[in-house]
Amino acid sequence: MRKHHPILRAIVLAALLLALACTLTTSGVPPVQLNVRLEDLAAAGVMKISVLEEGIYQISLAEIGWESIDPETLQLVHRNQPQPLLVTSEGTETRIHFYGQPSDSIYTNENIYLLQTADMPSLRMVEAVAAAPPPDVSPLEYCTAAVRAEQNLLYTPLVETGDHWFWSKLIAPQSQTYEVDLADVAAGAGHLQVEFWGHTKEPTDPDHHVRISVNGQLVADAAWDGQTRYTVEADIPAGTLVEGSNIIDIEAPGDTDTLVDIIFVDWIEIEYSRWAEAGADSLIFTAPETPVRLTGFSGTVAIFDITAPETISLTTLPLEAGAISFQGEAGHRYAAIGPGGYLHPHGLDPAATESDLRDPARGAEYIAIGPEDLLAPLTPLLEWRASQNLSAVSISVGAIYDQFNGGMPEPEAIRSFLAYAVENWQPAPRYILLVGDTTYDFRGYQAPAEANRLPTIMIPTEFGGETSSDTALVQINADPWPDIAIGRVPAQTPGQVAIFVEKTLGYEQQPFDPDWQRRILAVADGQEAAFRADAQSFIDLFPSDYQTTLIAPEAGDLGASEQVRQELERGSLLAAYFGHGSVNMWGKDRLFTTEDSANLSNADRLPIMLHSTCLTGLFTHPAVESLTENLLWNPDGGAVAILAPTSLTLSNAQAYLTTAFVEAWLQSEGQRLGDIALYAWRQTPVDNSSAVEVMNTFLLFGDPALRLPGE
Domain annotation covers residue 229: yes
Contact predicate 170/39, CB 8 Å = no
Number of H helices, E strands in the chain: 13, 43
> In the predicted model, what is the mean pLDDT of residues 132-159?
89
Q: Are residues 629 and 665 in the same domain?
A: yes
Amino acid letter, residue 293 = R
Contact predicate 133/139, CB 8 Å = yes
The mean-pLDDT minimum among 1-10, 54-63, 388-397 falls in: 1-10
Question: In CATH, what number is assigned to the domain containing residue 211?
Answer: 2.60.120.260
Q: Are residues 622 and 668 in the same domain?
A: yes
Domain annotation covers residue 7: no
List pLDDT tens digits, range 45-75: 899 999 999 999 999 999 999 999 999 999 9
Predicted confidence (pLDDT) at residue 180 exceeds the cutoff of 80: yes
- Residues with Cβ within 8 Å of 319's Cβ and at least 6 positions away in sequence, in order, are 297, 299, 300, 301
- Residues with Cβ within 8 Å of 43's Cβ and at least 6 positions away in sequence, in order, are 353, 356
End of a domain among 252, 275, 298?
275
More confident residue, 355 or 566: 566
For the chain, the average pLDDT equals 91
List pLDDT tens digits, range 398-443: 999 999 999 999 999 999 999 999 999 999 999 999 999 999 999 9
**Taking each helix axis from N to C terminus, what angle separates 411-424 and 397-404, rounded to the nearest 10 degrees?**
80
Res 137: pLDDT: 82
Contact predicate 228/161, CB 8 Å = no
Question: In CATH, what number is assigned to the domain containing residue 673?
Answer: 3.40.50.1460
Q: Are residues 94 and 192 in the same domain?
A: no
Contact predicate 409/438, CB 8 Å = no
> In the predicted model, what is the mean pLDDT of residues 473-487?
96
The mean-pLDDT minimum among 28-37, 366-375, 557-566 falls in: 28-37
Domain annotation covers residue 538: yes
Cis before residue 173, ω within 30 degrees of 0?
Answer: yes
Predicted confidence (pLDDT) at residue 10 exceeds the cutoff of 60: no
Domain annotation covers residue 147: yes
Predicted confidence (pLDDT) at residue 79 exceeds the cutoff of 50: yes
More confident residue, 629 or 160: 629
Domain annotation covers residue 63: yes
Strand, helix or coil for residue 172: coil
Considering the chain, what percentage of its residues have pLDDT values greater than 90? 84
Q: Are residues 663 and 568 in the same domain?
A: yes
> In the predicted model, what is the mean pLDDT of residues 234-253?
98
Q: Are residues 537 and 682 in the same domain?
A: yes
For 522, phi then psi, to 5°, come to -125, 135
The count of structural domains within the chain is: 3
Q: Are residues 42 and 107 in the same domain?
A: yes
End of a domain among 245, 260, 275?
275
Q: Are residues 515 and 653 in the same domain?
A: yes
Considering the chain, what percentage of its residues have pLDDT values greater than 70? 93
Q: Are residues 687 and 585 in the same domain?
A: yes
Predicted confidence (pLDDT) at residue 222 exceeds the cutoff of 70: yes
Domain annotation covers residue 17: no
More confident residue, 244 or 451: 244
Domain annotation covers residue 455: no
The mean-pLDDT minimum among 475-479, 628-632, 649-653 falls in: 475-479
Q: How far apart are CA 203 and CA 159, in angstroms?
A: 19
Contact predicate 277/259, CB 8 Å = no
Q: How far apart are CA 285 and CA 277, in angstroms?
A: 11
Res 354: pLDDT: 66
Q: Which residues pair with 169 in a beta bridge?
A: 264
Q: How far apart are CA 352 and CA 114, in angstroms?
A: 11
Contact predicate 304/342, CB 8 Å = no
Domain annotation covers residue 247: yes
Q: How far apart are CA 106 and CA 622, in angstroms?
A: 15
More confident residue, 450 or 152: 152
List pLDDT tens digits, range 305-317: 999 999 999 999 9
Res 711: pLDDT: 61
For 323-344, give one letter per residue: b (16+ CB within 10 A) or e.
bbbbbbbeebbbbbbbeebbbe
Domain around 548: 510-701
Q: Are residues 175 and 120 in the same domain?
A: no
CA-derived radius of gyration, the chain: 30
Predicted confidence (pLDDT) at residue 34 exceeds the cutoff of 50: no
Q: Are residues 552 and 680 in the same domain?
A: yes
Q: Are residues 119 and 162 in the same domain?
A: no
Enumerate the H helices of 354-473 as residue ranges: 372-375, 379-387, 397-404, 411-424
pLDDT level of residue 677 (50, 70, 90 thresholds):
very high
The length of the chain is: 711
End of a domain among 350, 385, 411?
350
More confident residue, 517 or 132: 517
> In the predicted model, what is the mean pLDDT of residues 504-516?
96
Res 392: pLDDT: 98
pLDDT level of residue 252 (50, 70, 90 thresholds):
very high
Q: Are residues 146 and 177 in the same domain?
A: yes
Q: How far apart are CA 22 and CA 17, in angstroms?
A: 15
> In the predicted model, what is the mean pLDDT of residues 670-681?
95
Res 285: pLDDT: 87
Amino acid letter, residue 265 = V
Q: Extract the runs of DSSP E, i.e. beta strands, from 624-685.
A: 641-645
